[in-house]
Amino acid sequence: MIPGLMQDAPLLISGILTFAATAHGGREIVSRAVDEPLWRYDYAGLARRSAQAAHALAALGVASGDRVTSLAWNTQRHLELFYAVPGMGAVLHTANPRLFDEQIVYTINHAESEVLLFDKTFLPLVERIAGQLTTINTYVMLADEERHEAGAVGALCYETLIAAQPDAIAWPRLDENGGAFLCYTSGTTGDPKGVLYSHRAVVLHAYAAGLNSAFGFTAFDVVMPCSSLYHATAWGLPFVALLCGTKLVLPCDKMDGASLQELIVGEGVTFTGGVPTIWTMYLAWLEQHDQTPGVLKRVVIGGSAVPRAMAQTFKREYGVQVLQIWGMTETCPLGVVATPTPALAELGEAAMDEAIWTRQGRLQFGIELKVVDEETGEDAPFDGETSGALMVRGPWVLKRYFRQDQDCVDADGWFDTGDISTLDQYGFMRITDRKKDVIKSGGEWISSIDLENVAVGCPGVKVAAVVGVPHPKWEERPLLVIEAHEGEAVTKEAVLEYLAPRIVKWWTPDDVVFAAVPLTATGKIDKKVLREAWKGHLMG
């Protein structure tokens, strides 16, 4: 081979900011903030304030390679840290405030972070855990001077810090393979594990997410991420928006129906995204208040399986297209996106909808997928039927967890996702379960995700969770736990009657119980808690 003769320009996160400030400088950013009025500025303003934040952090002693932790909602100040911290060569650890205290402490100590920047909401949490944080030497509250509180940790005020700094900066030319964001998995099994995103991974992921086969933004879009900035960088939306020059709307932590509607309609949101629970609430709110979602065109939903009924309601009632995505913290997080193709369109609209609504998404360039038959160890065919362990590989898939001394991929670079899925001839992937959630009944597998997906379509049902619980004869049988919408009287008989024509008989849950369904720190049904709570239920 002979060397190519093109420039070796590194793919850097600061490049995205500089580009947006130059090419779309006047495009607006609107943000709610804790306790403060709506904040409005633009990409040029974001670039200026990110520069100020980088200078301020440098003045606090933060240097290239150091870790800085944020404990913050989807706000403009958090967005500024998304650019300032990696821009200067440091690493932003986005702590997940929904984890238990001891897990938050674990992640901050494990990251060896030196500065903790937090929204005012989290002052009590920070005061509670400060004594256990072994490496933090500076606390900064992300608030304005009027609302600032130093608290027991003597927090500095973000606005005071940055006001004293110049609003221009020459971002350093870094190694594109250097660390930029440190995101921890939720640790539902064992300690949370750190995934260290490189600049290169984040930038390539943003390019891919912007394509028409994925989010497909144009400069006319108005994008509101309701996925959390602290969870896998809100699916890269804060980068894709800047690449494409969309208006950006940040909802802070206000995810109730009325607050979402105010921004969706008031700001002309055309594209939003988040985990299914948010949209269950929002759709119920729209119906109760007899309202429509303004000019909203597309909603990207992932993190857990999208109930078919949700995608159908969005389309049929409001003309909104649902894009299901699958991914994980370990994949930056985008893996597949469910977008239409000509081959599916040939099947007709109903069949295409059906295909798209019942699959997680299709292959995107940059993420290779394969399914391995766990019994034979062979690669499964792309036949839509053979299920097995889902493996991934590509430039934005992790190789090794932070501070571990061994890679977590096989000799060919494949990472085992822990999901069980199929792949079909259209390049679509369908998840049937997570390995640890699979229900084994008399040696046969029952897909908890498929069952939940059907059950949640039953009128009055808000959340449907299926777990395998020990059974004296069949080893394990499915138990269906239902949380009904407020004021709805759903009965076991009604649910079983609804399920009967829609599932194979031997999948019928052995019992249907009604209870609040617990969620994990990343908004997924907490099956571990459910299994523990109901483990004796079918043992007689």
Please give the residue ranges that form the binding site for ligand ADP (CB under 6 A): 185-186, 232, 302-305, 324, 326-329, 333, 360, 417-419, 431, 434, 520, 522, 524
Q: Which lies closer to ligand ADP via its Cβ, residue 109 or residue 188?
A: 188
d(CA 514, CA 505): 22
Q: Is 445 one of the annotated active-site residues of the chain?
A: yes
Q: Which two tokens stand for residue 207?
A: 């390019």
Q: Is 474 one of the annotated active-site residues of the chain?
A: no
d(CA 88, CA 100): 30
Q: Are the beta carbons of 303 and 275 closer than 8 angstroms?
A: yes
Q: Which amino acid is at 208?
A: A
Q: To the nearest whole angstrom, how small is the minimum distance from the Cβ of residue 96 to ligand ADP?
A: 8
d(CA 184, CA 182): 7
Q: Which lies closer to ligand ADP via its Cβ, residue 280 or residue 304?
A: 304
Burial of 63 by CB count in 10 Å (0-12 exposed, 13-18 middle, 19+ buried)? exposed
Q: Which lies closer to ligand ADP via its Cβ, residue 142 or residue 464?
A: 464
Q: Is 346 one of the annotated active-site residues of the chain?
A: no
Q: To the nearest whole angstrom, how small is the minimum distance from the Cβ of residue 305 to ligand ADP?
A: 4
d(CA 172, CA 89): 8
Give the count of beta carbons closer than 10 Å to the beta carbon of residue 401.
18
Q: Which lies closer to ligand ADP via its Cβ, residue 15 or residue 327?
A: 327
Alpha-carbon torsion, ordered 221, 226, 230, 234, to 10 deg: -40
Q: Is 534 one of the annotated active-site residues of the chain?
A: no
Q: Which lies closer to ligand ADP via its Cβ, residue 181 or residue 326?
A: 326
Q: To the nearest whole angstrom, how small is the minimum distance from the Cβ of residue 419 to ligand ADP?
A: 5
Give the count of beta carbons closer than 10 Å to the beta carbon of residue 6.
6
Q: How many residues does the chain have?
A: 540
Q: To the nearest whole angstrom, how small is the minimum distance from the Cβ of residue 108 to ligand ADP?
A: 17
Which residue among 80, 114, 330, 483 is the active-site one? 330
Q: To the nearest whole angstrom, how small is the minimum distance from the Cβ of residue 169 to ligand ADP?
A: 33
Put residue 178 in one of left, alpha, beta given phi > 0 → left and psi -120 to 50 → alpha.
beta
Q: Which lies closer to ligand ADP via its Cβ, residue 147 or residue 315?
A: 315
Q: Which two tokens stand for residue 452?
A: 């939940």
Q: To the nearest whole angstrom, how small is the minimum distance from the Cβ of residue 437 to ligand ADP?
A: 8
Collapsing DSSP to helix, strand or coil, 389 comes out as: strand
d(CA 453, CA 19): 42
Which residue among 385, 440, 491, 497 is the active-site one? 440
Q: Which residues are catalytic?
A: 185, 330, 440, 445
